[in-house]
A and B are shown apart, each in its own frame.
Chain A
Amino acid sequence: MKLLVPVRRESRIALGVAFFIVFVALWSFLSMSGAVPRHFLATPWQTVASGWNLFATQGFTHDVGMTIWRVVGGFLLAAVIAVPLGIAMGVYKPIEAFFEPFVSFARYLPASAFIPLLILWVGIGEAQKLTVIFIGCFFQLTLMIAMIVSGTRRDLVEAAYTLGCKDTGVIRRVVLPGAAPDIAEALRQVLGLGWTYIIVAELIGASSGIGHMITDSQALMATDHIIAGIVVIGLVGLLSDVLFKKVNQHLFSWSLLR
């Protein structure tokens, strides 16, 4: 192994797959040998079978759909406000001075701690789920974008001024295109964050969603369902991440040039 030297594509895939094989093997050993009792840890095959069963007979597709829509909805609401606000904060320092202290403080408020409060305020409906995701994503995203925009290369801004740009031209033609790849990357990371909040939001007071299914299964000690639910979240999260990454790479191919 040489320091920092990339591996070939085939070896990379092989290594990645190898981990899953080791992981499943270990899981099989623990659950099938009886080292861990069955009702605490379902076997991999049991989990796959119940996962299939969940989709086929128990309308799990609807739960997954609800969860996706809540994450994406709350995330989009956050992004629609955070992106312009973050850009304004990055470009205009007085605006940053006004919002930054509060946003920095709010970022450390755990979104899940708001759930009891939100249930009182907006009930246990969709609004509560969306708000949790919104709180979880918004402050983080705003700060990340403000920081990215603040990092705009000064020399490029100056070059644009000497080429005849005014302030709006500089924002439109230098700040935004320069920051766009990093902003897209920040959105991708924060969407991932959204996935970690949704389940907590659904554990309390929900009648649908993956989190709801998991709480129900806990009451029945159906660890196979719980694990299947967790795996599905992982897969959906991974899928959205990969999609996001592909779109970013396609849109901002210039930023990948070395």
Chain B
Amino acid sequence: MSRLSIRDVSKTFPGHRRNAPATQALLPIGLEVGDNDFITVLGPSGCGKSTLLRLVAGLETPTTGEIRLDGTKIVGAGADRGVVFQSYTLFPWLNVRQNICFGLREKGMKLTEQRDISDRFIAQVGLRGFEDHFPKQLSGGMQQRVAIARALANDPKILLLDEPFGALDNQTRVLMQELLLGIWEQAQKTVMFITHDIDEAIFMASRVVVFSARPGRIKAEIEVGFPHPRHYTIKTSPEFMALKARLTEEIRVEAIAAAH
């Protein structure tokens, strides 16, 4: 069953000054995302990946086409689509637990229930003992873990992540990939994950969607068949290497196009 359905969606940003040319960020694209799918969107910088995610999140409105989640047309942001942004967006005046409970409190959930749920997600992202810390007292990786927990605690129908590990060092990034994948394997959620890192895209995805250079359109959709649970060692397997070589070639062409 298709959960998220993107039909003929394009986005053109008007020029910010009069007579300034408009920017076509996305050509009309179509994409179906099934229930419990983990898709990664891969593409060169500036190809419209964030734009697509923001359209699904309801933070932008499409210029043409429409996006449906479980058959309902998306208008505006809502708690049914959890978002983890590339930049750090924890509320600096709230501690870790309060950040995670932000959406639950908005729903008017009872405090004891909020506590149970936040306890569970704090444990899941490995932040026990940091409940009372403020965002500024956490490292970048810890902040993104809280952001993931905050989005998941709301129990969204789909989780949207925009290069959430982009600012992290390589080791931390790999640990975070395993963490997120582990959560997904347990919880079974529909996930759309944006990245420009090929390893990351293959390692987590059940399907990789490759974008062309701007204006973005979908260039290829590639199934990734590795069984779950996945272990980081698959990254050195010949199958992984072969996929990586293929995607590297696809992306390279686009990156060259983007640079011209």
Residues of A within 8 A of B (CB): 155-156, 158-165, 169, 173-174, 177-178, 180, 252, 254-255, 257-258
| B106:A155 contact, CB within 8 angstroms | no
Residues of B contacting A255 in the complex (Cβ-Cβ under 8 angstroms): 92-93
List 27 contacting pairs A-B, 8 Å CB cutoff, sorted by A. Answer: A155-B89, A156-B91, A158-B59, A158-B83, A158-B85, A159-B83, A159-B89, A161-B58, A161-B77, A162-B59, A162-B78, A162-B79, A162-B82, A162-B151, A163-B82, A163-B102, A163-B103, A164-B78, A164-B103, A164-B107, A165-B106, A173-B102, A178-B93, A254-B93, A257-B134, A257-B136, A258-B136
Residues of B within 8 A of A (CB): 57-59, 76-79, 81-83, 85, 87, 89, 91-93, 102-103, 106-107, 134, 136-137, 150-151, 154
Query: For the complex, would chain B's binding face be called helix, strand, loop or mixed by DSSP majority?
Result: loop
B233 to chain A, nearest CB (A): 35
Residues of A contacting B137 in the complex (Cβ-Cβ under 8 angstroms): 257
| A173:B89 contact, CB within 8 angstroms | no
A164-B136 contact given A158-B59, A169-B106, A177-B91, CB 8 Å threshold: no
| B92:A159 contact, CB within 8 angstroms | no
B152 to chain A, nearest CB (A): 11
Cα A241 to Cα B91 in complex, Å, equals 28
Q: Which of B82, B85, B93 has the most CB of A within 10 A?
A: B93
Residues of B contacting A252 in the complex (Cβ-Cβ under 8 angstroms): 93
Query: For the complex, would chain A's binding face be called helix, strand, loop or mixed by DSSP majority?
Result: helix
A162-B83 contact given A169-B106, A258-B136, CB 8 Å threshold: yes
Other A-B contacts than A159-B83, A173-B102, 10 sampled, CB-CB below 8 A, are A158-B59, A161-B77, A162-B83, A163-B79, A163-B150, A164-B79, A164-B106, A164-B107, A169-B106, A255-B92
Residues of B contacting A158 in the complex (Cβ-Cβ under 8 angstroms): 59, 77, 83, 85, 89
Cα A163 to Cα B82 in complex, Å, equals 7
Q: Which of B81, B85, B87, B102 has the most CB of A within 10 A?
A: B102
> Inter-chain contact count A-B, CB under 8 Å?
67
| B93:A164 contact, CB within 8 angstroms | no
| B154:A164 contact, CB within 8 angstroms | yes
| A162:B57 contact, CB within 8 angstroms | yes
Cα A165 to Cα B106 in complex, Å, equals 7
Residues of A contacting B107 in the complex (Cβ-Cβ under 8 angstroms): 164
| B85:A159 contact, CB within 8 angstroms | yes
Cα A221 to Cα B79 in complex, Å, equals 73
A254-B92 contact given A158-B59, A159-B85, A162-B57, CB 8 Å threshold: yes
Cα A204 to Cα B124 in complex, Å, equals 69
B147 to chain A, nearest CB (A): 8
